[in-house]
Chain A
Amino acid sequence: MVPNVLIIKNLSVSVGDKEILKDVTITVKSGEVHALMGPNGTGKSTLAHTVVGSVRYKVNSGDLLINEVNLKDLQVYERARAGLFVAFQEPVSVQGLRFINYLRTAYSSLHPDEKLEYKKFVEEVKELLKYFGLDSSFIERGLNDGLSGGEKKRMEALQMLILKPKFIILDEIDSGLDVDALRVVSKAIARAKENGAGIIIITHYQRILDYIKPDFVHVLINGRIAESGNGDLAKVIEERGYEYYKGGEMSAKIE
């Protein structure tokens, strides 16, 4: 099988008048795990939103591709249909929209050729809820409505598994998770990787990376990739902090 590839190439993005991402390049192949790290406000979430295709994020230059498909020409939902899934740092809630109804609609939209058997689908979702340590009643709750921070993150991870995307961006999926939750979510990510998804984990912490070792680590400083390296870079960063990159962003060293 030819592996799928997500290409983020020389991407510059602005929000309003402000340029936030500058010349960012990351290439993710199926089965790879990349970690994206960097101080608060450097543009990690901006990258996630840009890939999603929110209109607020304006691509000034560069390319976004899944295989040969140019995501820039696609609407948000078409990008999802091309295989993209982004778990947001702050998932929004929709009052009254029952989770199962939403999820079923999403699934049928993403996999139009499959005939969805509702009963089986519900069973599968219930099983996953259990896996993530969530109550089966969540199935009928309004989408993210009234969920705690950690519960929302687990629900995002659940969707990541059920919707079977080709590429996954997880924006701080680990923040707000308790120890046990972090373990299952990490296991879930490993499962997605085994299923052949290419994954970008945006995180501030080494902890999640202990569970799921990244193949590559990228450091984003002031909207630029200041450094890219293998899995060990994460530990190095934890030790030396981001101070190290101060002033050196222009001459970022790439291994």
Chain B
Amino acid sequence: MQRLNEDEIDEVKKLNEIKYDFTTNLKPAYQAQKGLSRSVVEEMSREKKEPEWMKNIRLKALEIFFSKPVPTWGPDLSELNFDDLTYYIRPEDRKANNWEEVPKEIKDTFDKLGVPEMEKKYLAGSVAQLQSEGVYSRLKKQWEDKGVIFMDMDSAVQKHPDIVREHFGKVVPPSDNKFAALNTAVWSGGSFLYVPRGVHLDLPVQAYFRMNGALEGQFERTMIISEPGGSVHYIEGCLPAEELVSKGDSFVPISAVGVSENVMTHSGESSNVTRTFVRPYDGTMLTFVPSSRGNAFRLTVEHPVLAIKRASVVTARKLGNGWTSVLSMQKLISAKPDYIRAEKLEEGDFIVYVAPTGSRDDSKFTPELLIVLGVYASRGSIRYNEVREAGELVLSFGKSPKERKMATELYELTRSLGEEASISENADGKWTVTSHSQKLIDLCQTHVGNGDTVKKLSKVIMELPPEKQKILFENYIGEGGTNSTDGSLKSDAVKASTSSELLAFQFQEIIARNGFFANISFKKLRKVYVLKYTKDGRFSQARKVGNNFYVPIRKIIRERFKDKVYNLEVSNQNSYLVKGFAVHNCTAPTYSQYSLHAAIVEVYVKNGGKVRYTSVQNWSDNIINGPTKRSWVEANGRMEWVQGSLGSKITMTYPSSILRGEYASTSNLNVALGIGPVWKDNGAKVVHAAPHTSSKVVAKSISGKGGMSVYRGQLRINPGAYNSKASVQCDALILDDISKSNTYPHNEILEESASFSHEASVGKISEDQVDYLMSRGIREEDARSLIVLGFLDDVLKEIPLEYSIEFNKLVKLEMNKYGAVG
């Protein structure tokens, strides 16, 4: 195969990562009613215009599905009501073959995403082939020249019926299990990958484009066929940068956001994270520096950002002899922001800062208390005595008469609140107000924190009505001291500084909620964040529209980036805020709303072929995930399964390999994390059906916080499979007394000359280990994650480095999701 040069490889990698989202306002044209019957299946098949043979396969599978009981040998599936599920959703665009017929919403979505014209037509199905320039099409062409076929499964049924028919259901027959029967009856979506004889694909293959329901769904069907001597690495799963995401009350690094947490969206309301993604990235990273430099954030090139192109809001104006285009305020204010791919944005374009809407008042926060908290935030600290029993609230003031006045006012205010306080003049003429009121200390500690660099306002405060927040802020800046103050909200120019990054962003949000956009800049020398704004918007160049501010991009920096990147999937809104600015989430596939996923993956490795299938899944924890993954491996072929299972409520997955030809081999590396109220039923199946075959299974499970991890293995060495070798190693780590782990190995060694080894271990984290790590300064929860990662190390080192890094991160996230695991 002709090799790609480095740039092309980069391009392809980039393409690999493009995940469009097409879920905006799509009304499915046809939606099967809930429940399952013969007529539902027939209608589905008719809708898809499938050949008769496929319809028959479906109907037969349906009968099998009805006849099989729900499995009772594993996790409790009793809450699964098959009549309550919707089995098929077909988006309107699917079979559009004329561009004009493509629904407007879809076209709009493409536009929003900045998809080139030809690609749009391709994606919308109105052209059979992508003819656009660029590496993707060249690569696709190269592949096609070699005979590689990669498309969604439904299209494959239409376009390559012979290949599909020959292989469909051969490795995973519908009779295999109830979920397999169900999938065969109602499958929709999934990928079809065909690698012809002797072709090696040196780049991992991932689904490039994700169409609504086309490539992913609850009953996906994936088929990978490697003809003799072919090889491919297929990666399943979606996978942009370590940036501060707004949670409404605070900002957290995107890498620390977990499933089911709330984040702020472009509408200014908070919404639930349904899935988190992390992936290795090697390509261009863009840094967007808005006019407020402190809000600079980084994004991958394809990430859609809510923005307005400057070009679309300018008017021509006569200047001297010629015409020039100038920004039209009128146009800007009436423009509607759209999601635009990051790489399509230029300096001068506008991005959207969103001020959260909605508030929750708390009568406890009286104006007086807010004054105290504001003053505390700017100049207060809490000191504890040696035994840490009693603390002291200290507010430091300068020696000017103004400072003295403020100190006195605050002292009197505190007393009027009924709290103990004293005021004193220090030797150097400065003033200090001190209080030992436990109530005040607790309030300050809880709602503002202690320590200049780490102060941050509590959730409660960030949710107070803007007018109340204003009191706090005014008192923060109103008091000189550590703040160089030019004035207050009442005067025209306002300046505030803080050494806490979080506090800076929180104040920016509070100011925005009060109708102004403050620029943040970071003074490196003094290590302080300075917020500045004027009522007329002189400094910020930002324009207010509703609860949004349109902020011009000052600079875009491009650089090469090689590390992991993150993304979130957010329900309802499909967006989140990075440093206050709205970006789109990568894909918001509807499938995560389904409770049941029963995909089938069928892999055919023919003579001397090699396939590696890597999947790292982090489903939200309302999901029951029961995929059937199986491979058929012919002589000298090799199948490698690498699987990491993190999220989901119930997982039942046992990737299997049937070694049918001599010297066929397989490896199966499986890591399952069962933390929280979840049941992980994982394992591996291997059948040695020919001589000299070999297999290696390594399964590692972790149970914590009441989680259950099960290893269920099946290994069979058939009579006549001489000199076959098999090894199974399954290790369980149990993190506490309420979690469980079980191992059900089922080994049938029916050939005497075969060698077989089975090792199993169940362990706990020893407190001595935790103590040892803690005695070297490591926090308890970090100590526990380190021990867990150590436990996983022999699997992690087997997978490509970037994936093991990814996994590391996910494990830490997962462990912290439920607090420290202990």
- Name A residues whose Cβ lies closer than 8 Å to a Cβ of B: 52-55, 65, 68-70, 73, 75-77, 79-81, 84-86, 88, 91-92, 94-98, 101-102, 105-106, 109-110, 142-143, 159, 163
Contact = CB atoms under 8 A, between A and B. Distances in A.
A92 B778 contact: no
Contacts of A69: 386
B790 interface: yes
Interface centre among B773, B776, B782, B786 (most CB of A within 10 A): B776
Contact of A73 (B387, B789, B794): B387
Contacts of A109: 776-779, 782
Contacts of B387: 70, 73
B731 to A, nearest CB: 10
A92 B768 contact: yes
A95 B792 CA distance: 9
Given A88-B772, A91-B772, A110-B777, A96 B790 contact: yes
Contacts of A76: 771, 774-775, 780
Given A88-B772, A92-B769, A102-B786, A97 B793 contact: yes
B234 interface: no
Q: Say whether chain A's binding surface is mostly helix, strand, loop, or mixed.
A: mixed
B777 A77 contact: yes
A253 to B, nearest CB: 32
Nearest to B792: A96
B771 A54 contact: yes
A98 B772 CA distance: 15
Given A75-B774, A102-B773, 6 more contacts: A54-B771, A73-B388, A77-B777, A86-B775, A94-B786, A163-B776
9 contacts: A68-B386, A70-B386, A73-B386, A76-B771, A77-B777, A77-B783, A94-B773, A97-B789, A97-B790
Nearest to A69: B386
Contacts of A84: 775
Nearest to B389: A73
B787 interface: yes
A124 to B, nearest CB: 16
B791 interface: yes
A105 B782 contact: yes
Given A92-B769, A94-B773, A96-B793, A77 B786 contact: no
A98 B793 contact: yes
A94 B767 CA distance: 12
Contact of A80 (B766, B776, B786): B776
A96 B797 CA distance: 10
A86 B775 CA distance: 7
Contact of B769 (A75, A86, A94, A110): A94
Contact of A81 (B777, B787, B792, B794): B777
Contact of B787 (A54, A55, A94, A110): A94
Interface string B371-401: 0000000000000001110000000000000
Interface centre among B386, B388, B773, B791 (most CB of A within 10 A): B773
Interface residues of B, number: 27
Contacts of A142: 790, 793
Contacts of A110: 776-777
Contact of A106 (B767, B778, B790): B778
A52 B775 contact: yes
Nearest to B787: A94
A96 B761 CA distance: 15
Closest 4 CB pairs of A and B: A96-B793, A97-B790, A96-B790, A76-B774
B790 A80 contact: no
Nearest to A56: B767
Nearest to A163: B776
Contacts of A159: 776
A97 B786 contact: yes
Nearest to B797: A96
A142 B790 CA distance: 8
Contacts of A106: 773, 776-778
B786 A105 contact: yes
A113 B780 CA distance: 20
A69 B772 CA distance: 22
Contacts of B778: 77, 105-106, 109
B252 to A, nearest CB: 19
Interface string B385-429: 011100000000000000000000000000000000000000000
Nearest to A91: B772
A80 B780 CA distance: 12
Interface centre among A75, A77, A110, A143 (most CB of B within 10 A): A77
Nearest to B794: A96
Contact of B777 (A80, A91, A98): A80
Contacts of B388: 70, 73
Contact of A95 (B768, B771, B791): B791
A77 B790 contact: no
A55 B774 CA distance: 12
B789 A96 contact: yes
A47 to B, nearest CB: 14
B392 to A, nearest CB: 15
A70 B384 CA distance: 11
B768 A77 contact: no
Nearest to A101: B786
Contacts of B791: 95-96
Contacts of B794: 96
A110 B778 CA distance: 8
A77 B774 contact: yes
Contacts of B782: 105, 109
A92 B789 CA distance: 17
Contacts of B386: 65, 68-70, 73
